[in-house]
Structure 1
Amino acid sequence: MKALSIKALLWGYAVLSMTPLFVMVLSSFRQTSEIFDDPLGLPNGLPLGNYVKAWTEASFSTYVVNSVIVVVSAVLLGAVVSLLAAYPLGRSVFGGRSLFTAYFISGMTLPAHLGVLPLLYLLESLGLVDSLVGLILVYAAGSIPFNVFVLTAFFRQLPHELDEAASLDGAGPFATFWHVMLPLVRPAVATVVVFQFVPLWNDFFYPLVLMRDETKLTLSVGLTHFFGEFQNDWGTLFAGLVMTTIPLVVLFVLATRQIVAGLTAGMNR
């Protein structure tokens, strides 16, 4: 009986949380006059006019492409660098290991926005201001401390007998990392990828500071232009918001199992 009550409570909370999303999706298929006449009403069919208008007339396609390029590249680059750093920190014993670990963790204690002025000067000297490459490097570097912290903990939890067995089979350090260790920490990799993808996809600060050309804006900053241009066209606004949300929903659906496995891995040992 208690279990049923908890399930009913969780389902009720889920429905309550999802209601705004359902309203947003339904409103994206309606005209502004229909939304004002009946805010919670159903659309007449599923016309895609608002989506076509947002994609073509509002430069939404440009913002989406820029965001995908920047965020996917930054997440992948940050994950690769973090894996290469976390593996020796988690599996090897060498002088200064604790110092290196503390150095990476210290990056999580400093507010990144405090260093925006030196960062801006550095990127300007490298010619990377108003450049997608510069934004990718900033995002990738900012994700490394958290990624290394999480991945190092997972590498340390793996039995050391795996290294010995791989060595007896003739595998070198890189082969052991690639064929033995990396598949075992896949849940952790999925966890850090999702935990970095979401804030980077929604980040407003760095694109606002570093980007000048409107054709290079990401979704977060591009939405402000979008809202200013279509502030009286609510149907198109909702269509733009739906398109902004879809990549996050798809990512969570595809990676849910790996995320749960990563978050609960420590409980199984």
Structure 2
Amino acid sequence: MSSKTGKPLKRRRNTLPLHVIAVIVGAFMVAPVVYALLGGFKTNSELSGNPFGLPSTWVTENYTDVLGSASFWRQMWNSTFIAISTTVLTVALSALAAFVFARFAFRGRELFFTLFTAGLMFPFAVAILPIFVLLRAFGLLDNPLGVILTQAAFGLPLTIIILRGFFRSIPGEIEEAATIDGCSPFGFLWRILLPMARPAIATVSVLAIVGSWNNFMLPLVVFSDESSWTLPLGIQQFQGQYASDTARILAYLILAMVPALAFYAIAERHLVGGLTAGATKG
């Protein structure tokens, strides 16, 4: 065997354990989704007798009944509005802060940056009581702004870290050339940095949207009016209402997951690149 043939073979043998682990982890992640998807097409009796097999008769009523429910679409709208608003606010504020921390030198810069990143050390659940008191004092209970502002505040630390790393990786010569051409600092951010930072912006947008979409505790604390509920709250209410109808609950879960999974699938190719952007330059 030649050395040229032996090297690729050896490389494949070295990466085989990693591939096996990836397949096993992927199977553990996909199996519950496939189980719920197929379970939504079964009757409850078939789900009990044949939980893992294909449906003998595909029951589409479980999905069509959910899609025909006005409350489902209202909760879908509430979740979409809150997720998009949270993402826009988080990315906009984080981009401005990351730009300052990355491209400006001033006394106390690292101290302020450390204060921002310290927010990663405080779990959301620990702060839920003071958040509730604060939102009540500002009259933001039963108001989407109560969820949007809070989620944006907790999303700032990680978003600033990712965007700052990318902004710092941009060569200073580009900024100098833009300044010579009469570009202001904000113009440099808007016209040059942000277009170049699309992978990083896509990454933080995915994280913000999926995090907001799956958030259960904060909407539970903020919203008492059923018309303001998001999908996670709707799932809990639906599960309580149809406790014995497991197949319909599974259909509801799948339909609630579709928008977030679709957005993630579209933006997935930017995710890894955005997370590693700026990792090699400081």
Q: Same fold, TM exceeding 0.5?
A: yes
Contact 2:165–2:277 (8 Å) recurs in 1: no
User: How far apart in 2 are the matches of 1:117 and 1:8?
Assistant: 44
The alignment partner of 2:141 has SS state of coil
1:211-230 to 2 correspondences below 5 Å: 211-230=223-242
Number of matched residues? 269
The structural deviation recorded for 1:71 is 1.5
Contact 2:165–2:278 (8 Å) recurs in 1: no
Q: Tell me what 1:158 maps to.
A: 170
Poorly superposed stretches of 4+, deviation over 6 Å:
none
User: How far apart in 2 are the matches of 1:11 and 1:111?
Assistant: 31
Which of 33-42 and 203-212 deviates more?
33-42
Identify the match of residue 106 of structure 1 among 110, 118, 123. 118
Q: Tell me what 1:96 maps to.
A: 108
Is 1:32 aligned to residue 34 of structure 2?
no
The structural deviation recorded for 1:8 is 5.5
Gaps of 5+ in 1: none
User: How far apart in 2 are the matches of 1:143 and 1:8?
Assistant: 33
The structural deviation recorded for 1:168 is 2.0
Which whole-Å deviations, capped at 9, do the CAs of 1:64-106 have from their partners, x for residues lacking one? 2211111121111111111011111111112332232122112
Q: Tell me what 1:236 maps to.
A: 248
Is 1:133 aligned to residue 145 of structure 2?
yes
User: How far apart in 2 are the matches of 1:136 and 1:267?
Assistant: 30
User: How far apart in 1 are the matches of 2:223 and 2:28?
Assistant: 38
What amino acid does structure 2 have at the position aligned with 1:96?
Answer: G
Is 1:265 aligned to residue 262 of structure 2?
no
Q: Tell me what 1:171 maps to.
A: 183
Contact 1:131–1:211 (8 Å) recurs in 2: yes
Identify the match of residue 155 of structure 2 among 118, 125, 143. 143
TM-score of the pair, normalised by structure 1: 0.90
The structural deviation recorded for 1:17 is 3.5
Q: Tell me what 2:81 maps to.
A: 69
Aligned-CA RMSD value: 2.2
Q: Tell me what 2:5 maps to.
A: none
Q: Tell me what 1:115 maps to.
A: 127
Is 1:191 aligned to residue 203 of structure 2?
yes
Gaps of 5+ in 2: 1-8
Q: Tell me what 1:60 maps to.
A: 72
The structural deviation recorded for 1:114 is 3.2
User: How far apart in 1 are the matches of 2:199 and 2:82?
Assistant: 23
What amino acid does structure 2 have at the position aligned with 1:159?
Answer: P
The structural deviation recorded for 1:162 is 1.0
